Structure 1
Amino acid sequence: MTVTLYKWTLDRYHAAIEAGVFEDQAVELLRGDIVVMAPEREPHACYSSEGAEYFRSLLGDRAAIRETKPITLPDDSEPVPDIAIVQPPLRRYLSHHPAPDEIFWLVEYAQTSLTKDLGLKKDVYAEAGIREYWVSDLKNARLTVFRNLSNGTYQTELTLTEGTLAPLAFPDITITVERLFS
């Protein structure tokens, strides 16, 4: 017996959202598959909100910060990163979600989703051309940074538990690693 999976397009996914099909369930679209998002526990909600506030304080009006909002990527993907640092102003996204060329970098906070964030989501983001992607591992208090895209793959992976870091898009900004998970 052959198993055939139904692949969603962005248009069909958006039509289903408009029809209220997913209103009782948090989902995201990854490579045409609808993926149920894990419920957000208190530490995840707290640290991702604090992280977004920290980025806002450092970046001011140089970037807009979107928290737990969709981004639209090629290959029928519309993930919902915890934090997307995007081109301002936020009103530019009234008619579309940010696309790769409007995204400076993405941050995921992982409490129960570490495997997905370091695997499938990393690959989807790299293939879409997202220049930089960070995963804040809340259980192990470490930040994994993916950078230096080449042929749809991140060439550099840094794992940090302390110190400072400057995002590629804003090399003059200094981010204290510990502030993202402590």
Structure 2
Amino acid sequence: MKTLAKWTVDDYHRMIAAGILNNRRVELLAGEIVEMAPETPIHYNTAKRNAKYLENLLAEKADVRFNGPITLQNSEPEPDIAIVRPLDSVYNNRHPELEDIFWLIEIAKTNQKKDLELKTTIYATALIQEYWVIDLSSKQMTIFHQPESGKYLIQQVIYQGGISPLAFPEIQISIEQLLN
């Protein structure tokens, strides 16, 4: 059996700085450099439209980041949407980290397994309090809460209605808006 070398976030940053990963769409997941699937038009447009929708709802409360990296202990994933503390000037020197993150959203069209398994484990292990997966194929959204021991204890699948994120219980987000 082969043992794979695991990369640290610092190793990954040095590879980026050295140009080793130029022109490669990759992300660091659980110490492994993983190729990112090409984005389909519907995936890109849904993520962009939802980021704009959430920016309007969360104006002045949060920074809604679109297709940008976040830094966790042994991963630097690039969620489709990250809702983080509005600390723009701090993000000139680093990506959002655990203490900055309100919740994360992935849009799934062709990579449901990666988003519902690998990234769920990474985000739960990092103690991301809330994680949503919008599944464009089945027109449903899976919401994960209560991370513990590398798993989310609460998983809910919804198709319609509204939801209030844990960080902003006063905000009502339309599921139909997110899925269309």
| Shorter-chain TM-score range | over 0.9
Taking the TM superposition and a 5 Å limit, the aligned residue runs for 1:16-95 are 16-74=15-73, 76-95=74-93
Aligned match of 2:13: 14
Runs of 4+ in 1 over 2 A off after TM superposition: 149-153
Structure 1: runs of 5+ lacking an equivalent = none
The farther-off stretch of 7-16 and 162-171 is 7-16
Q: Could you report, residue by residue, the CA deviation over 1:47-74 in whole angstroms, capped at 9, with x for unpaired residues?
A: 0001000100101010001111111111
Secondary structure, counterpart of 1:90 in structure 2 = coil
How far, CA to CA, are the matches of 1:11 and 1:56 in structure 2? 31
Aligned match of 1:174: 172
Aligned match of 2:123: 125
Q: Following TM superposition, by how much is the alpha carbon of 1:78 offset from its aligned partner in structure 2, in angstroms? A: 0.6
Give the aligned residue type for 2:130: E
Give the aligned residue type for 2:51: A
Structure 2: runs of 5+ lacking an equivalent = none
Give the aligned residue type for 1:61: E
Q: Following TM superposition, by how much is the alpha carbon of 1:151 offset from its aligned partner in structure 2, in angstroms? A: 3.5
Secondary structure, counterpart of 1:72 in structure 2 = coil
How far, CA to CA, are the matches of 2:112 and 2:166 in structure 1? 23
How far, CA to CA, are the matches of 2:3 and 2:101 in structure 1? 34
Question: What is the number of residues matched between the two proteins?
Answer: 180
Give the aligned residue type for 1:181: L
How far, CA to CA, are the matches of 1:179 and 1:91 in structure 2? 31
Q: Does 1:111 align with 2:109?
A: yes
Q: Could you report, residue by residue, the CA deviation over 1:20-56 in whole angstroms, capped at 9, with x for unpaired residues?
A: 1112111010111001000111000100001000100
Identity among equivalent pairs (%): 46
Give the aligned residue type for 2:175: V
Secondary structure, counterpart of 1:62 in structure 2 = coil
Superposed CA RMSD:
1.0
